[in-house]
Amino acid sequence: MLLTIQAVHTRLRGTPCCYLTYSAVRICVLLMILLPCSFIFNVASAQHLTLQNSSLEGKPGVKTAPPGWRVAINTPDILPGVYGCHKIAKAGKTFIGLQAGPVYREGIEQELSSPLRKGKIYSLSFDLAFSKIYGHEHCYGNLAIFGGNTPGDTSELLWTSGSFTDTTWHRWTAELRPRASHKFISFYAYPEEKCAVNSYGVVVFMDNLSSINQILKTEVTATASCNNTSTGSVNVRVTGGDGPYTYLWTPGNYHTPQVSNLPGGYYEVQITSADGVTTKAAVTVGESDLATGTDVTLSNCAGDNKSAISLNITGGIPPYDLSINGIEREGSKFDNLVPGNYVFIVKDKQVCSDTFNVFIKEPDPLVIRQVDVEPCSCSEVNDGSIRWIVEGGTRPYKYRVDGDMWQPDSLHHNLKTGNYRYEIEDARGCVETGSATITSPWQNCLVVMPSAFSPNGDGNNDLFRPKVYDAVTNYQLKIFNRWGSLVFQTNDPKRGWDGYYSGMPQSSQAFIYVCSFNTSRNELKEYRGTVMLVK
């Protein structure tokens, strides 16, 4: 390669107040050509992304997003002041409300000033709250954060809060680990569990978002040092930033990710990535190789008191002395132990000690928490059932009634009226028993159609549903408004209409129903009529 230097003296960038000779210039230019550009011009930097309108300020209303944000899908709301919500914002004056159901979600989104980068790790904090009543009844709150590259794109689920029901504001911190780069970030109410009270049973309130800050994650490990020698080591593994990383361990002023020949003690390390992200971690190096392994055997059933602990003592200098809860003991196996905390102290000839706890906890008692008995629809049919809610013991459970065959299902059905003796057994043979009586509230089999209902949330007559006193099959219920539009239908006799259509409560008016089914005698019945929705 031919280099032409047209001046004997030149000033290089980064060397103010100093002139270089011709030879020095040649060396510097050669270094700039031969060395990687990233060594000379390191332009990468840590990402700290500021969200527009992070306190979600805006004019209260439905089907809208705060300025700086956009509606990602459906009808988010700016609160308070709508649907009877008067909750005070966590920061500023307003916050956002999002609802969801199995086939419905609401969300807001924002285009970031710089994309979230694949393989990086970010931290984002915000405040969340739940409301049981917001327009209608809800079961829980759950927030999901998505990354995408176009408006409405939810190609990657970055984080979910999980179900919560606390109605007070609480600070949450999400750790985002994108598997691809994303220009957009969006926040959704997200259904994870079923909600029995409403098909739109998820609601989450969100406020006061922080900036999105790139962070490093560290995993620090250490090996112990024997007494009076320096045989310990430390090692740190870093993810989330651009390499190469720089390290500074104290004490010792070491600059590598792994350091050996260390005495016991407490060590801190500061790590900085090439893109400028810094974090700290710490680890303690132990001072003896004396170690004790434990093998714990627990009782099968609560109250057996048959737990056992076996010890495997290694390292140090034998022979060993052993004490349990302050009492000197011999041997390495201890049987028939009651539940509790056992403090072991193992000392070797050099008086190095290994102190550790073993907490013996037998399985929780097998408890029949609830027995739900479903009566027969009428005295002429055998559609009664018994359902058990069981806790404790060791799963899976099995069930039987009146000495019949065991079955894994907690629901026994097709039972007639009468008294029943049942048994429940867990995977370790622990057994609980009990009895239940199935009755029939109605002598004759029939279906009764109500003439009105009032879906006002007072728990009384909130649903329109036929009163079925029969073991019906091929059930179908359809409800039409006065214009002939279908507003509700179901094939489940236990499911009723809550007065909502397309997510909106209907006004007081008459609706037409058509209800058809086969009776327990396989007779086809069809009822037609009107039902009045009363507010």
Number of independent structural domains in the chain: 6
Residue type present at position 179: R
Pair 118, 183 in one domain: yes
Question: Contact, 121 vs 176, CB < 8 A?
Answer: yes
Q: How many alpha carbons lie under 13 Å from residue 509 in its C-beta half-sphere?
A: 12
Predicted confidence band at 14 (pLDDT cuts at 50, 70, 90)? very low
Residue with the bigger pLDDT between 10 and 330: it is: 330
Sort strands 524-533 and 452-453 into parallel, antiparallel or unpaired: parallel
Q: What's the pTM value of the predicted model, to 2 decimals?
A: 0.49
- The pLDDT, as a whole number, for residue 350 is 58
Cα 431 vs. chain centroid, distance in angstroms? 33
34's tokens: 């031969």
Residues 95-138 pLDDT 10s: 999 999 998 999 999 999 999 999 999 999 999 999 999 989 99
Pair 55, 199 in one domain: yes
How does DSSP classify residue 34?
Answer: H
CATH number at residue 492: 2.60.40.1220
What average pLDDT does this structure show over 310-332?
90
Q: Note down the domain range covering 418.
A: 367-438
Question: What is the spatial distance between Cα 136 and Cα 404, in angstroms, rounded to a whole number?
Answer: 45
Pair 194, 250 in one domain: no
Predicted confidence band at 142 (pLDDT cuts at 50, 70, 90)? very high
Mean pLDDT of the chain: 88
Domain boundary among 438, 459, 481: 438
Tokens 């408890």, located at residue? 367
Pair 310, 252 in one domain: no
Residues 18-41 pLDDT 10s: 333 334 334 333 333 333 333 323
Pair 34, 55 in one domain: no
- The pLDDT, as a whole number, for residue 411 is 95
C-alpha pair distances (Å), 270 with each of 218, 219, 234, 256, 350: 10, 13, 13, 11, 36
Question: What is the spatial distance between Cα 454 and Cα 468, in angstroms, rounded to a whole number?
Answer: 19
Question: What is the spatial distance between Cα 24 and Cα 5, in angstroms, rounded to a whole number?
Answer: 11
C-alpha pair distances (Å), 284 with each of 36, 235, 264, 352: 38, 11, 7, 17
CA dihedral 103, 105, 110, 112 (to 10 degrees): -60
Residues 176-226 pLDDT 10s: 999 999 999 999 999 988 998 888 899 999 999 999 999 999 999 998 776
Pair 61, 175 in one domain: yes
494's tokens: 């236990």
Residue 423 buriedness (CB in 10 A; 0-12 / 13-18 / 19+): middle
Pair 227, 131 in one domain: no
Domain boundary among 413, 438, 463: 438
- The pLDDT, as a whole number, for residue 44 is 53
Predicted confidence band at 228 (pLDDT cuts at 50, 70, 90)? low
Pair 236, 277 in one domain: yes
Pair 326, 354 in one domain: yes
Residue with the bigger pLDDT between 445 and 25: it is: 445
Domain boundary among 419, 438, 457: 438
Pair 425, 484 in one domain: no
Tokens 């190096």, located at residue? 285
- The pLDDT, as a whole number, for residue 25 is 36
Pair 75, 202 in one domain: yes
The residue ranges of DSSP E strands in 47-169, in sequence order, are 48-49, 70-73, 77-79, 95-101, 104-105, 107-116, 121-129, 133-134, 136-137, 143-148, 156-160
Pair 432, 335 in one domain: no
- The pLDDT, as a whole number, for residue 36 is 36
CATH number at residue 254: 2.60.40.1080
Question: What is the spatial distance between Cα 354 and Cα 525, in angstroms, rounded to a whole number?
Answer: 78
Percent pLDDT > 90 in the chain is 72
